[in-house]
Amino acid sequence: MNSCFSTFSFPTTTVFGAGSLTELPSRLEGIGIKRPMIVTDSGLLDTQAFALLQQALGVERRGKDWSLFSGVHPNPIEQDVIQAAATFRKEQCDGIIAFGGGSALDVGKATRLLIKRPELQISRFDYKEDWTDLAPCICIPTTAGTGSEIGRSSVITIEATQRKAVLFHPELLAKLVILDPELTRLLPPKLTAATGADALIHCIESFTSPVFHPLCDGIALEGVHLIVEALPRAFRNGNDIDARGKMLVAAAMGAVAFQKDLGATHSLAHPLSTICGMHHGTANALCLPFVMRFNAERKPGLYRRVGLASGLDVLKCSDTEADALTINFISKFMIDLELRPGLRAYGVKESNIEALTEQAIQDSCHQTNPVPVTAADLKSLYGSAL
């Protein structure tokens, strides 16, 4: 195996470096996967990233040594998982390569639940049941945002309720993650910004969550530092491989950190995806400054260390000043990435707020917000962000 790539486990074994996708064949052999099924979305099939994957696997070997499921939706739905599992069984595969953004990675990980138990209804997934011996999965992200490749959960929209369900279990962890910045080189600026903002918000919300986990706190703050430095560069110049690589690592760090859990920003963002079809990262970015102000008013000094990680000179400021400088910086950071405030511009209407609030209060993320929130608070935050 090539010694120029970095390999580490936290806890998932991860191979990082430009060109590290070339490690895939030997890693498949090491894991014991002889006939993998690629899980991805149709939009990736004509990209350079998918061409590199085909090259690594052997284009001419498709149908002989590997199979493909490309039916993943932008916000993955229950049927994606059902159909992927059916394809896996039909093609007699023995492992999964989840390839793409967070949606493809989530479907790839969750598909293994239905491979093990075809009769399972996803809405009735039970963490306490035996989920050992799932089909092995290799996760290869083509965006730097959700960090789903490193996580132990999948977020899937349930058909009956049209609400996102979080399927969580340690056995959902991938056997291997490959972080190759060459795969994100041609990611458009708009998607680079939205996914990168998602990674930043994972770091900020996990750090400010009141759950005690100092290891995750340190990872979250370093994630903020990396993203503030690298995301603007990746946004301006997609061929900046150093920036692309740092963003992939920072996204994974955000996912490691949010095992602490997240906050009210995510509770607001999830319904914006299911009800209004917004990209998850964009929804997060547009809601974040309003949630930060809400939190800082009730817990002054909350964002001082986020400001320090962002490179701001807030050490000697008062708590209120440190928060204000940090929130203003983050707000401008989003605007510079062309993630300007205003949900209306994305088709959200005032008439949506009641339904959005109803789903947001039932979303578990706000339960680990640094200060308590009520349904009335969430409704008010939607109104402010509108």
Strand pairing report for 153-158 and 163-168: antiparallel
- Cβ(69)–Cβ(38) under 8 Å? yes
Condensed to tens digits (0 to 9), the pLDDT of residues 205-231 reads: 999 999 999 999 999 999 999 999 999
> 207 burial class (0-12, 13-18, 19+ CB within 10 angstroms)?
buried
Dmax (CA) of the chain: 65
Between CA 192 and CA 194 the distance in angstroms is 6
Q: Which CATH number is correct for 189-385, 1.20.1090.10, 2.40.420.20, 3.40.50.300, 3.90.1150.10?
A: 1.20.1090.10
238 token code pair = 């997609």
Between CA 53 and CA 182 the distance in angstroms is 11
Q: Indicate the pTM of the whole model.
A: 0.92
> Looking at the domain covering 6-184, what would its CATH class be?
alpha beta
- HSE, CB side, 13 Å, CA atoms: give it for residue 205: 30
Coil vs helix vs strand at 250? helix
Closest alpha carbon to 301 in 311, 314, 312, 288: 314
210 token code pair = 């009141």
Cis peptide before 370 (omega within 30 of 0): no
CA 386 centroid distance within chain: 24
Condensed to tens digits (0 to 9), the pLDDT of residues 321-380 reads: 999 999 999 999 999 999 999 999 999 999 999 999 999 999 999 999 999 999 999 999
Between CA 386 and CA 109 the distance in angstroms is 34
**Three-state secondary structure string covering 257-289:** HHHHCCCHHHHHHHHHHHHHCCCHHHHHHHHHH
Residues of each domain in the chain carrying CATH 3.40.50.1970:
6-184
- Cβ(68)–Cβ(88) under 8 Å? no
Render each residue's pLDDT in the chain as its tens digit; 386 residues. 566 776 655 678 999 999 999 999 999 999 999 999 999 999 999 999 999 999 999 876 666 799 999 999 988 999 999 999 999 999 999 999 999 999 999 999 999 999 999 998 888 888 889 999 999 999 999 999 999 999 888 989 888 887 888 898 999 999 999 999 999 999 999 999 999 999 999 999 999 999 999 999 999 999 999 999 999 999 999 999 999 999 999 999 999 998 888 999 999 999 999 899 999 999 999 999 999 999 999 999 999 999 999 999 999 999 999 999 999 999 999 999 999 999 999 999 999 999 999 999 999 999 999 999 999 999 999 999 99
